[in-house]
Amino acid sequence: MRKFNIRKVLDGLTAVSSAASASSAAQQQQAGNRETEIQETLQSEHFQLCKTVRHGFPYQPSALAFDPVQKILAIGTQTGALRLFGRPGVECYCQHDSGAAVIQLQFLINEGALVSALADDTLHLWNLRQKRPAILHSLKFNRERITFCHLPFQSKWLYVGTERGNIHIVNVESFTLSGYVIMWNKAIELSSKSHPGPIVHISDNPMDEGKLLIGFESGTVVLWDLKSKKADYRYTHDEAIHSVAWHHEGKQFICSHSDGTLTIWNVRSPTKPFQTITPHGKQLKDGKKPEPCKPILKVEYKTTRAGEPFIILSGGLSYDTVGRRPCLTVMHGKSTAVLEMDYSIVDFLTLCETPYPNDFQEPYAVVVLLEKDLVLIDLAQNGYPIFENPYPLTIHESPVTCCEYFADCPVDLIPALYSVGARQKRQGYSKKEWPISGGNWGLITQSYPEIIITGHADGSIKFWDASAITLQVLYKLKTAKVFEKSRNKDDRPNTDIVDEDPYAIQIISWCPESRMLCIAGVSAHVIIYRFSKQEVTTEIIPMLEVRLLYEINDMESPDGEQVPPLPTPGTGSNPQSIVPQSHPSTSSSSSDGLRDNVPCLKVKNSPLKQSPGYQIELVIQLVWVSGEPPQQITSLAVNSAYGLVVFGNCNGIAMVDYLQKTVLLNLGTIELYGSNDPYRREPRSPRKSRQPSGDVKDNSFSRSRSSSVTSIDKESREAISALHFCETFTRKNDTSPSPCLWVGTTLGTVLVIVLNLPPGGEQRLLQPVIVSPSGTILRLKGAILRMAFLDTTGSLVPPAHEPWREHNVPEDKDEKDKSKKRRPVSVSPSSSQEISENQYAVICSEKQAKVISLPSQNCIYKQNITETSFVLRGDIVSLSNSICLACFCANGHIMTFSLPSLRPLLDVYYLPLTNMRIARTFCFTNNGQALYLVSPTEIQRLTYSQETCENLQEMLGELFTPVETPEAPNRGFFKGLFGGGAQSLDREELFGESAAGKASRSLAQHIPGPGGIEGVKGAASGVVGELARARLALDERGQKLGELEEKTAAMLYSADSFSKHAHEMMLKYKDKKWYQF
């Protein structure tokens, strides 16, 4: 632990930017108070940046696969991402470096490996036997485009179909091409004059591995004999094919077509289909063919022992169903169920009891991958109910507009939110367990509660339990239900300031200790909520309307100490204060016909039933002023100990006492300065113009500016950008701290407002709160983002708060006496300090950070964070029993600085600011955690803590778990004796180099993957590789135990897991004879 002397700490600064400010800071310090020693424990070795987990629905999904033995689901996306899902809480994200779209995924079933085919004509083999899957091999096709892949169960030979209609064969162990190729011109009729089109399907006959069914897009299907290298049968149809599926006995297959028909073919009757079905076609009476329908994009044919087979398909609706939602159709015997989906279907898979294609399939569920959702349908229950989805895939249910992240919350919060959220759950789900149940959870090494709050475009707010790198929704609050909804567009009030999403959440201010919640919405509205476990009905919703003006007049210059007259509760004498008991009758236009005194939204005037959870305390709305709409709110803060909420925009600042329901402060930004205004500002013309002019720092700019440049005008106004309630020294000569509000603006000014609060209990509701500017003004470069306060030991002084209590239950006498005496809890050590001891204000702007000693107001440390860019988010957070300032810059850098000395501790280039979504949602929190919205549907979490990075490997779940492959179906005595049953094929003999020769070198290029040596265990695939893998695991165990010193090896696999793996392999083969392998 190093001790830092405030006089000398700047000698240790390495950053060039801080050197410039060192001399001035040292001079100020010598003039300051007595020497203070603050111990700083954080060093740069405490910091390391890495991504931890990604939550949410995979953005723009494009491919789907399922391992029926491991019970793991894989989803590929159009941006080359790969998401793997096991049991709830086990999920994993990987990324193909090229970023090309994933067109198909194929599991090596029960092997812990997966093949991905990409739109850039590459194949990749992923090893899933490590916690962070890695690519073992890649193969890049140079001359042909990949369209379809097929890997038979327990085979190491992957069939790859191309756009030219050829089929190549890849050995998945070595990821090399076989010399065996099926050329399109050999597969189709020699007499055929046209090209059959790309390959859309490949599969082997379930009963005979030597026969390969090849589907060409044009409508031709070929049954190819692999041994004799010629076509056995050719089936031609005049409609394009989208997909093909076998009956498990291998005597029939089904094709889906572009005209909405299904054709069922007997293998030995190629001349015409055995049956043609148009599932959604209207049957015409005179025997004509039904009208064509939309293409059936996919069909699956699944058999059951006890009854009729299932035919499951997507698409195929008739063309006259305009506006009908996408459907999945389940045909079972004579019944046809049409299941409507909320989004278009990307792909679907039927989950079956067996991995063997030549056995009765016994389907039990269908996984449907939609454009923006994942749905699982239970086939075993009547009515095909859906399973309740346990993954956090609903982040984007309405687009996310803002995020907040709270680590190390009070421990009772998550249970409280869960209990009120449990009542919101939908009913009617399947009674069965979620069928995707593979993998194992990681070790939980972090035990503190974490909560993420997301605000959405429809006005909803979701609370998520984010503890220990998982995510689960706890509770959803709909803020829009307090407002009247317009039924159609014509009915909408013309006071709207946004065209769509008028309830969208912009800012969330939450006090976890008191559970007070405050939100600011896009229609210049603020709602304050209290948490309650009781249901209440609110007869009249308490509301206030605030007129926030931006005015500079030549005639009057408001005095700094002037405060608007304070109304006594219930009188309503002040135009800013409206009696909450009755709804105001606002006039919609002023004398000159301009819209005036109207809010953007209309609050309901009927009683509102409020369920347990967050309940409305007060609604505040900014109103139109003389034809000018209210400006959107730029900052917001709530304090439960003081009973106050404050918010600001580019016009000014307003403070409301939510206990007395009165407006305490309503000032234009300029009025905050009083006579100390450092800026020259243009006065508005006496006539009330619609567009008031903005702040102007530069005279030349002001002269040349025409009056029509209104957008610049609004932008250049000084907006309120940061607000912080605290108990500190407000003026230079203060001897003791007192409650106050620190206000930061976009021009880099910090102003202090003094709060004079009445005593607690009943007096708090009767006496007014007195608010007055202190005259204290501090300056920084760039807009103010964040403020915090440290005590004399350098510990964070949190804002005062009230502990949560149930407000909807009448208090007994003892409680009332207690509440009279109750003072706000300020957890800071400052309350017990001697008067002479000082505090430190930490202020972070877009450009720099300063630490200011209080009450002297000397700047003792300064750090220029960035010269060429600007800080998007800055947070003062705790880490390793200390605190630091964490910043995310628009140039993509993440930086941390020690407090109070502002030494640079971490500076890592992480990601460039590619869109506003990242800027709007990035946030840091305690214990080295951070997050942002990486896509419209996904949250990316990261850590900047060295300790979390080291523990991450243990915390991550395992996707692969050793599972015994089910026994193959019994062929039966007579079938074994007289032939029939499944025919096996020695593919090695056909496709190996000795028989097929080498493939053309120019056709495809092999690229070794970055998976490294730890991935070899996933490479030995297929039944052939099982023994090799058992031997490998044993060798590895001995080898790795010797190298246990190596940290990375120890992280990847503990010796324990090797012994377990090897032991399981040994048991698996102990009782088997040589011919059973």
- pLDDT, tens digit, 9 for 90 and up, residues 408-455: 999 999 999 999 998 887 788 999 999 999 999 887 766 789 999 999
Confidence of residue 492 (pLDDT cuts 50, 70, 90): low
Cβ contact 300:292 at 8 Å:
no
- Locate tokens 């509770």: which residue? 475
Residue-level pLDDT at 1045: 39
Q: Write down the pLDDT at residue 32.
A: 41
CB contact burial 265-290 (16+ within 10 A = b; e otherwise):
bbbeebeebeebbbbbbeeeeeeeeb
pLDDT given for residue 1073 in this prediction:
38
Q: Which residue has the higher pLDDT, 272 or 31?
A: 272
- Size of the chain, expressed as the number of residues it contains: 1077
1031 pLDDT more than 60: no
- Tell me what pLDDT residue 592 has: 54
What is the average pLDDT across 754-767? 90
Categorize the per-residue pLDDT at 9 as very low, low, confident or very high, splitting at 50, 70 and 90.
Answer: very low
User: Nearest-CA neighbor of 659 among 584, 570, 722, 582?
Assistant: 570
Mean pLDDT of all residues in 883-909: 95
d(CA 100, CA 141): 14
Question: In this predicted structure, what is the pLDDT of residue 673?
Answer: 84
| For residue 121, pLDDT beyond 90 | yes
Highest mean pLDDT of the ranges 39-43, 287-291, 1026-1030: 39-43
Q: What is the pLDDT of residues 80-96, one digit of tens each?
A: 999 999 999 899 999 99
Q: What is the pLDDT of residue 29?
A: 43
Judged against a pLDDT cut of 70, whether residue 36 lies above it is answered with: no
Q: Which pLDDT tens digit goes with each residue over 928-959?
A: 999 999 999 999 999 999 999 988 888 888 99
pLDDT of residue 500: 83
Q: Is the pLDDT of residue 692 over 60?
A: no
Q: CB within 8 A of 1000, min separation 6: which ones?
A: none
Q: Determine the pLDDT at residue 11.
A: 36
Among 261-265, 459-463, 763-767, 815-819, name the one with the lowest average pLDDT: 815-819
pLDDT in tens, 327-385: 999 999 899 999 999 999 999 999 999 999 999 999 999 999 999 999 999 999 999 99
Mean of all residue pLDDT scores within the chain: 81
The pLDDT > 70 percentage for the chain reads 77
Q: In sequence order, what are the residues at sequence separation of 6 or more whose Cβ sits closer than 8 angstroms to the Cβ of residue 968?
A: 356, 359
- Asked if residue 895 has pLDDT above 90, the reply is yes
904-912 long-range Cβ contacts below 8 angstroms, 24+ apart: 904/13, 904/14, 904/15, 904/18, 904/863, 905/42, 905/43, 905/44, 905/46, 905/47, 906/44, 906/47, 906/48, 906/49, 906/944, 908/49, 910/49, 910/942
- For residue range 789-842, list pLDDT tens digits in order: 999 999 999 999 999 998 888 766 555 555 544 445 544 444 444 444 789 999
Kindly tell me if the per-residue pLDDT of 612 is higher than 80. Answer: yes
In the predicted model, what is the mean pLDDT of residues 515-528? 96
How far the first Cα of the chain sits from its last, in Å, is 62
Q: How far is CA 187 from CA 144, 192, 213, 271, in A?
A: 18, 11, 11, 17
- For residue 304, name the pLDDT band (cuts at 50, 70, 90): very high
Residue 977 binned pLDDT confidence (cut-offs 50, 70, 90)? very low
pLDDT in tens, 259-279: 999 999 999 999 999 999 999
The tokens for 580 are 């909450």
Quote the tokens at residue 881: 């029993």
Give 167-222 as a DSSP string: EEEEETTTTEEEEEEE-HHHHS-TT--S---SEEEEEEETTEEEEEEEEETTSEEE
Higher pLDDT, 532 or 35: 532
Q: How far apart are CA 722 and CA 744, in angstroms?
A: 5
pLDDT digits (tens, 9 = 90+) for 1044-1070: 434 433 344 443 444 445 445 444 544
DSSP state of 599: B
CB 403 within 8 A of CB 933: yes
**In this structure, which amino acid lies at residue 690?**
R
- Using the structure block, give the residue that is written with the tokens 């404050």: 646
Other C-beta atoms within 10 Å of 762: how many? Answer: 12
Residue 1032 has pLDDT above 60, yes or no: no
Q: What tokens does 834 get?
A: 């001697």
What mean pLDDT is predicted for residues 375-402?
A: 94
| Residue 75, pLDDT score | 98
- β-sheet bridge partners, residue 196: none
Q: What is the pLDDT of residues 552-587, one digit of tens each?
A: 543 333 333 333 433 333 333 333 333 333 344 444
Q: What is the pLDDT of residues 285-296, one digit of tens each?
A: 666 777 889 999
Q: Which residues pair with 216 in a beta bridge?
A: 199
pLDDT value for 1009: 80
